[in-house]
């Protein structure tokens, strides 16, 4: 693949660059940075030669009917720096253009960033703000910008939205049957809504919905078994339709003996029962305790009486305790107690449905780990479309599916690489003095500094490779 001259030249330039870095660096950190840049530059140079050689092999193996119409230059940002290379443009008999190298390497038509760098951008962009992600990636690729990372997440976020929309239309409008492959007797579904600051719009906050399905819990830390998350900016009906499609693709819903839906009592969450026949609704213990603390924090006695009644599932005792609490309170306190009574009345069935040891209550932690740690940072603001894209990518990351959006076709690469990594000398190389060529290309070999150790012991030794080539 590589010509011996190419390899020698790259190695000699790398050795010379390292020596110059050793001579000029002020500290080890600067030295390390310079050597990293030199290594990336050398790797990039060899990679460009490899790509152009593969393009030459593709020319020899092209199908009939493809005609070369010229060469086109392409610049690609990779994890080892920016590279620029040329490849052949073909035209078939129907007038359609093809670039065989791009197709075989899995590069999109207008792809500016390599697949691996996109993976790194996706991972960092879903963990931290785009500027910080660009600063971290900048240690490897100094030319990457926050806008480049934003474009990567925007593209894959829109792909996630399109996939979800297409699935909903196929099932609910086209009547396409959806059959899952996994079986479980119990399916737990929990949902909640989280508000993030809106960047532009009539309202200050923007609501994101998160639905999490799982089969159970295990271990001391209560890990969720076979968890699947769905998130997005949508109304209640829209998010439940999407949940219905996704869960039906994963699980065989007809085999589920018991479906339990948990939430904070919001009306849109209770509508999930309509999408899962035989499902029961359960109130989230976290939000129940939060409501109790907000309404009864002024009286520990009232709090204990109401909590005791709830623990015993005695609604009469709970209402009597709340009535006594309203008699001893005034103004805003009385209103909060009255609102608590209404809340408990509308959700009592969800409280009494399960014994204490079986109650749900993981959604608040899922919201924190999946959504809020990335989207509710100090100063963070989102447009509706940006929040929808990011929340869907965060859900995909929680499901371990984030990199599924990045794919490449490399079907012919292995066959194309079945040749020697370094080409043997040709008849022209035998007639030409390789050492003379090196002295012409590398004046340092015969210049005033030729006696220095790095030249005498490194560069001149490398010229002897012609004896074994």
Residue 416 to residue 124: CA distance in whole angstroms: 34
Alpha-carbon distance 51 to 58, whole Å? 10
Residues 416 and 389 occupy one common structural domain: no
**Bridge-partner residues for 229, per DSSP?**
212
Same domain, 87 and 32: yes
Same domain, 316 and 414: no
The C-alpha atoms of residue 341 and residue 336 are separated, in whole angstroms, by 9
Beta bridge partners of 224: 217
**pLDDT digits over 143-164, tens only?**
899 999 999 999 999 999 999 9
For residue 205, what are its two tokens? 């906050």
> 458 pLDDT exceeds 70?
no
Do 219 and 363 share a domain, yes or no? yes
Give the pairing type, strands 258-263 and 228-232: unpaired
435 and 307 in a common domain: no
On whether residue 362 sits in a domain, the answer given is yes
Residue 97: beta bridge partners? 91
- 130-139, 166-175, 201-210, 416-425: which range is least confident on average? 416-425
Confidence of residue 415 (pLDDT cuts 50, 70, 90): low
Q: How confident is the model at residue 225 (pLDDT cuts 50, 70, 90)?
A: very high
Mean pLDDT of 392-402: 94
Q: Is 235 exposed, middle or buried (0-12, 13-18, 19+ CB in 10 A)?
A: exposed
What is the overall mean pLDDT for the chain? 85
User: Residue 453 above 90 pLDDT?
Assistant: no
> Phi and psi (nearest 5°) for 3?
-80, 145
pLDDT in tens, 116-137: 999 999 999 999 999 999 999 9
Is residue 306 in a domain? yes
DSSP state of 371: I
Whole-number pLDDT of residue 319? 92
Pairing of strands 97-98, 205-214: unpaired
Confidence class for position 431, pLDDT limits 50, 70, 90: very low
Query: In this structure, is residue 460 part of a structural domain?
Result: yes
Residue 352 pLDDT class (50, 70, 90 cuts): confident
* pLDDT score recorded for residue 397: 95
User: Is the predicted pLDDT of residue 467 greater than 50, yes or no?
Assistant: no
CA 6 to chain centre: 38
Identify whether residues 113 and 253 lie together within a single domain. no
- In the predicted model, is pLDDT for residue 20 greater than 90? no
Q: How high is the pLDDT of residue 446?
A: 57
CA distance 447 to 439: 9
Domain enclosing residue 52, as ranges: 4-138+406-467
Structure tokens at 363: 């959604």
* 87 vs 60 pLDDT, higher one: 87
- Tell whether 269 and 339 lie within a shared domain: yes
- Among 358, 387, 404, the domain boundary falls at 404
Does residue 195 form part of some domain? yes
Higher pLDDT, 434 or 87: 87
Q: How many domains does the chain have?
A: 2
Within-domain flag for 149: no
Strands (DSSP E) contained in 176-257 are 186-197, 205-214, 217-218, 223-224, 228-232
**Alpha carbon of 370 to those of 207, 215, 364: distances in Å?**
15, 18, 10
Determine the Cα–Cα distance for residues 400 and 393; give it in Å rounded to an integer: 10
Q: What is the mean pLDDT of residues 188-208?
A: 90
Least confident of 65-69, 318-322, 375-379: 375-379
pLDDT bin (cut points 50, 70, 90) of residue 261 is very high
Angle between helices 4-24 and 434-441 (to 10 degrees): 40
Cβ-count burial 36-71 (b if 16+ within 10 Å, e if not): eebebbbbbbbbebbbebbbebbeeeeeeebeeeee
Q: Which 8-state DSSP code applies to residue 370?
A: I
Shared domain check, 435 and 385: no
Same-domain pairing of 396 and 453:
no
> At 465, is the pLDDT very low, low, confident or very high (cuts 50, 70, 90)?
very low
- Has residue 160 been placed in a domain? no
Instruction: Tell which wins on pLDDT, 442 or 54.
Output: 54
- Between 444 and 205, whose confidence is greater? 205
Closest CA to 283 of 219, 357, 351: 351
> Which of 379, 404, 429 is the endpoint of a domain?
404
Rounded to whole angstroms, the Cα distance separating 364 from 372 reads 10
**Mean pLDDT across 186-199:** 93
Which of 349, 371, 404 represents a domain boundary (last residue)? 404
Q: How far is 17 from 444, CA to CA, in rounded Å?
A: 12
Please answer whether residues 262 and 284 qualify as being in contact, where contact means their C-beta atoms are separated by less than 8 angstroms. yes
Give the angle subtended at the CA of 85 by the CAs of 83 and 90, to the nearest 5°.
Answer: 145
Q: State yes or no: pLDDT of 63 exceeds 90.
A: no
429 pLDDT more than 70: no
Rounded distance between C-alpha atoms, residue 90 and residue 61, angstroms: 13
Residue 253 within a domain = yes
Specify whether 190 is located in the same domain as 325: yes
Is residue 391 a part of any domain in this protein? yes
116 & 227 share domain = no
Is there a contact between 465 and 8 (Cβ–Cβ < 8 Å)? yes
Is the pLDDT higher at 425 or at 373? 373
Residue 387, pLDDT > 60, answer yes
Q: Are residues 394 and 420 in the same domain?
A: no
* Count of C-beta atoms within a 10 Å radius of residue 172: 13
The answer to whether the CB of 213 falls within 8 A of the CB of 242 is: no
Q: State how far the Cα of 250 lies from the Cα of 179, in Å rounded to an integer.
A: 8
């Amino acid at each position: 693949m590589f010509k011996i001259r190419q390899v020698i030249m790259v190695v000699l330039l790398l050795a010379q660059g390292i020596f110059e870095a050793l001579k000029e660096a002020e500290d080890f950190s600067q030295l390390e940075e310079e050597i990293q840049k030199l290594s990336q530059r050398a790797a990039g140079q060899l990679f460009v030669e490899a790509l152009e050689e593969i393009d030459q092999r593709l020319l020899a193996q092209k199908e009939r009917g493809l005609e070369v119409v010229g060469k086109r230059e392409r610049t690609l940002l990779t994890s080892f720096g920016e590279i620029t290379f040329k490849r052949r443009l073909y035209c078939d008999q129907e007038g359609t253009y093809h670039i065989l190298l791009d197709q075989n390497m899995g590069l999109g038509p207008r792809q500016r960033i390599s697949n691996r760098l996109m993976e790194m951008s996706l991972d960092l962009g879903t963990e931290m703000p785009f500027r910080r992600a660009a600063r971290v990636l900048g240690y490897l690729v100094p030319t990457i910008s926050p806008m480049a990372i934003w474009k990567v997440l925007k593209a894959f976020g829109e792909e996630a939205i399109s996939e979800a929309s297409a699935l909903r239309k196929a099932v609910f409008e086209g009547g396409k049957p959806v059959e899952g492959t996994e079986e479980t007797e119990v399916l737990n579904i929990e949902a909640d809504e989280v508000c993030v600051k809106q960047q532009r719009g009539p309202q200050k906050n923007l609501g994101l919905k998160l639905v999490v399905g799982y089969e159970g819990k295990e271990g001391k830390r209560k890990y969720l078994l076979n968890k699947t998350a769905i998130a997005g900016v949508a109304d209640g009906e829209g998010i439940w339709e999407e949940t219905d499609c996704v869960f039906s693709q994963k699980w065989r819903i007809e085999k589920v003996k018991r479906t339990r839906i948990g939430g904070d009592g919001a009306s849109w969450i209770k509508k999930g029962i309509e999408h899962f026949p035989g499902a029961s609704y359960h109130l989230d213990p976290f939000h129940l305790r939060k409501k109790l603390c907000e309404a009864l924090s002024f009286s520990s006695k009232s709090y204990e009486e109401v909590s005791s009644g709830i623990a015993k599932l005695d609604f009469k005792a709970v209402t009597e305790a709340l009535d006594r609490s309203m008699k001893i309170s005034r103004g805003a306190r009385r209103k909060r107690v009255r609102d608590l009574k209404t809340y408990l009345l509308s959700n009592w069935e969800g409280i009494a449905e399960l014994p204490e040891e079986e109650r749900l209550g993981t959604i608040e932690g899922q919201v924190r780990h999946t959504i809020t740690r990335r989207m509710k940072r100090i100063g963070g603001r989102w447009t509706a479309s940006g929040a929808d894209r990011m929340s869907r990518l965060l859900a995909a990351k929680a499901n371990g599916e984030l990199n599924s959006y990045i794919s490449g076709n490399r079907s012919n690469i292995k066959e194309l690489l079945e040749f020697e990594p370094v080409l043997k000398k040709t008849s022209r190389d035998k007639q030409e003095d390789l050492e003379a060529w090196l002295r012409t290309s590398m004046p340092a070999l015969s210049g005033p500094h030729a006696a220095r150790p790095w030249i005498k012991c490194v560069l001149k030794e490398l010229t002897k490779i012609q004896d074994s080539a």
